[in-house]
Chains A and B, each alone.
Chain A
Amino acid sequence: MAAPLSGKRVLDLGALCAQRPHALAASMAARLCAAYGADVVRPLPECGEPFAAYPPLLPEGGSALDRFLNLGKRRGSGAGAFHAAIGDSASLAAHGRGVPVRVRFSVFGPGEDPPMSELGLLALSGLLGIVGDAEGPPARLAGHQPAYAAGLAACTGLLAALLGGGGEVVEVSLFDVAAWLNWKVAAGALMSGSVPARGGGDWDVIAVEDGHVALVYQDRDWPALCDLVGDPRLRAEAFATRARRIKNRASLMAILRTWFAPRTRAEVTAAAQARRIPIGPVMWPVELLADPQYQTRSFLAPDGMPALPIRLDGERLVQEPAYALSRWPASA
Chain B
Amino acid sequence: MIDFGWITAGAATSTLLLDLGADVVKVEGPGAPDPFRNWEGGPQDGDWWNRSPVFAFTNRGKRSVCLDLKDPRGREAVLRLLDGADVLVENWRRGVLASFGLEPAMLRRRFPRLVIASISSQGEDGPDRDMVSFGSTLEATGGLAALMGAGEAPVFTGRDLNYPDQVVSLFASGAILAALLERDRTGQGVHLDLSQREMTTFLLGEELLAAAAGAPSPRLGNADPTEPAERVIRAGEGWRAEWPGGAAPVREGASLTSADEFKRGTAVLWTPDGKPAKGILFRLASRQLTVREACHPLGADNRAVLAEAGLAEPEIAALEAAGVLSYSPRRLPSLKLQPGSRGA
Mark A residues whose CB is within 8 Å of B. Answer: 1-5, 32, 36, 54-60, 63-65, 67-69, 108-110, 112, 114-120, 122-133, 136-145, 148-149, 152-157, 159-163, 167-173, 175-192, 195-198, 200-203, 205, 207, 212-214, 216, 218-220, 273, 276-286, 288-289, 292-294, 296-297, 299-300, 302-314
> Chain B 224-256 against A: per-residue CB contact (8 Å), 1 yes, 0 no?
111100101000001111010111111111111
Interface centre among B133, B191, B199, B248 (most CB of A within 10 A): B248
CB-based contact A190/B217 at 8 Å? no
CB-based contact B284/A201 at 8 Å? no
Shortest B204–chain A CB gap in Å is 5
CB-based contact B256/A179 at 8 Å? yes
Task: Decide if B180 is an interface residue (CB 8 Å cutoff).
Answer: yes
Task: Decide if B14 is an interface residue (CB 8 Å cutoff).
Answer: no
> Chain B 53-90 against A: per-residue CB contact (8 Å), 1 yes, 0 no?
11001000000000000000000000000000000000
Cross-chain pairs A/B with CB under 8 angstroms, 6 sampled? A56-B207, A125-B267, A156-B282, A175-B267, A186-B276, A191-B275
Task: Please give me the 3 A-B residue pairs with the lowest Cβ-Cβ distance, nearest first.
Answer: A304-B212, A189-B253, A195-B253
> Chain B 127-149 against A: per-residue CB contact (8 Å), 1 yes, 0 no?
11101111011111111111111
Segment at the A interface, from B161-169, B303-311, B315-323: B161-169
Task: Decide if B126 is an interface residue (CB 8 Å cutoff).
Answer: yes
Shortest A170–chain B CB gap in Å is 5
Cross-interface CB contact of B158 among A181, A201, A310, cutoff 8 Å = A201
* Closest residue of A by beta carbon distance from B233: A137
Enumerate chain B residues within 8 angstroms of A170, measured Cβ to Cβ.
Answer: 282-284
Q: Please name 11 further chain A to chain B contacts, defined as beta carbons within 8 Å, in addition to the given A145-B203, A190-B276, A218-B342, sorted by A numbering.
A: A69-B205, A115-B245, A142-B147, A159-B174, A170-B283, A173-B266, A186-B262, A191-B57, A212-B154, A288-B142, A304-B213
Enumerate chain B residues within 8 angstroms of A157, measured Cβ to Cβ.
Answer: 281-282, 284
Enumerate chain B residues within 8 angstroms of A180, measured Cβ to Cβ.
Answer: 166, 266-268, 278-279, 281
CB-based contact B155/A187 at 8 Å? no
CB-based contact B160/A185 at 8 Å? yes
Number of interface residues of B (CB under 8 A): 134
Task: Decide if B6 is an interface residue (CB 8 Å cutoff).
Answer: no
User: Roughly how many angstroms separate A306 CA and B286 CA in the complex, as a whole number?
Assistant: 35
Segment at the A interface, from B25-33, B117-125, B290-298: B117-125
CB-based contact B163/A145 at 8 Å? yes
Task: Decide if B302 is an interface residue (CB 8 Å cutoff).
Answer: no
User: Roughly how many angstroms separate A284 CA and B144 CA in the complex, as a whole number?
Assistant: 8
CB-based contact B262/A288 at 8 Å? no
User: Roughly how many angstroms separate A68 CA and B225 CA in the complex, as a whole number?
Assistant: 18
Shortest B107–chain A CB gap in Å is 12
CB-based contact B161/A181 at 8 Å? yes
CB-based contact B208/A285 at 8 Å? yes
CB-based contact B246/A116 at 8 Å? yes
Cross-interface CB contact of A126 among B204, B240, B245, B251, cutoff 8 Å = B251
* Closest residue of A by beta carbon distance from B104: A313
CB-based contact A55/B217 at 8 Å? no
User: Roughly how many angstroms separate A149 CA and B204 CA in the complex, as a whole number?
Assistant: 12
Shortest A239–chain B CB gap in Å is 16
CB-based contact A137/B136 at 8 Å? no
CB-based contact A123/B248 at 8 Å? yes
Known contacts A5-B178, A179-B256, A280 near B213 by CB under 8 Å: no
CB-based contact B156/A205 at 8 Å? yes
CB-based contact A203/B170 at 8 Å? no
CB-based contact A187/B246 at 8 Å? no
CB-based contact B181/A64 at 8 Å? no
Shortest B199–chain A CB gap in Å is 4
User: Roughly how many angstroms separate A131 CA and B265 CA in the complex, as a whole number?
Assistant: 23
Task: Decide if B175 is an interface residue (CB 8 Å cutoff).
Answer: yes
CB-based contact A130/B215 at 8 Å? no
CB-based contact B261/A195 at 8 Å? no
Shortest B259–chain A CB gap in Å is 7
CB-based contact A172/B282 at 8 Å? yes
CB-based contact A207/B153 at 8 Å? yes
Shortest B5–chain A CB gap in Å is 16
Task: Decide if B95 is an interface residue (CB 8 Å cutoff).
Answer: no
User: Roughly how many angstroms separate A154 CA and B195 CA in the complex, as a whole number?
Assistant: 20
Task: Decide if B210 is an interface residue (CB 8 Å cutoff).
Answer: yes
Enumerate chain B residues within 8 angstroms of A198, measured Cβ to Cβ.
Answer: 252
Cross-interface CB contact of B256 among A161, A185, A273, cutoff 8 Å = A185
CB-based contact A284/B198 at 8 Å? no
Cross-interface CB contact of A283 among B146, B175, B278, cutoff 8 Å = B146
User: Roughly how many angstroms separate A267 CA and B108 CA in the complex, as a whole number?
Assistant: 39
CB-based contact A141/B157 at 8 Å? yes
Shortest B242–chain A CB gap in Å is 8
User: Roughly how many angstroms separate A302 CA and B166 CA in the complex, as a whole number?
Assistant: 29
CB-based contact B268/A186 at 8 Å? yes
Shortest B17–chain A CB gap in Å is 8
Known contacts A117-B243, A310-B175, A186 near B257 by CB under 8 Å: yes
Shortest B198–chain A CB gap in Å is 4
Shortest B168–chain A CB gap in Å is 9
Within residues 204 to 223 of chain B, which ones have a CB less than 8 A from any CB in chain A?
A: 204-215, 217, 220-222
CB-based contact A214/B137 at 8 Å? yes
User: Roughly how many angstroms separate A120 CA and B259 CA in the complex, as a whole number?
Assistant: 14
Cross-interface CB contact of B281 among A128, A172, A304, cutoff 8 Å = A172
Enumerate chain B residues within 8 angstroms of A286, measured Cβ to Cβ.
Answer: 211-212, 217
CB-based contact A126/B252 at 8 Å? yes
Cross-interface CB contact of A143 among B182, B191, B203, B278, cutoff 8 Å = B203
CB-based contact B212/A284 at 8 Å? no
Cross-interface CB contact of B230 among A1, A59, A119, A273, cutoff 8 Å = A119
Enumerate chain A residues within 8 angstroms of B110, measured Cβ to Cβ.
Answer: none
CB-based contact B132/A276 at 8 Å? yes
CB-based contact A1/B190 at 8 Å? yes
Shortest A97–chain B CB gap in Å is 14
Cross-interface CB contact of A119 among B142, B241, B276, cutoff 8 Å = B241
* Closest residue of B by beta carbon distance from A28: B203
Enumerate chain B residues within 8 angstroms of A149, measured Cβ to Cβ.
Answer: 166-167, 170, 203
Cross-interface CB contact of B262 among A169, A179, A196, A285, cutoff 8 Å = A179
CB-based contact A312/B252 at 8 Å? no
CB-based contact A299/B198 at 8 Å? yes
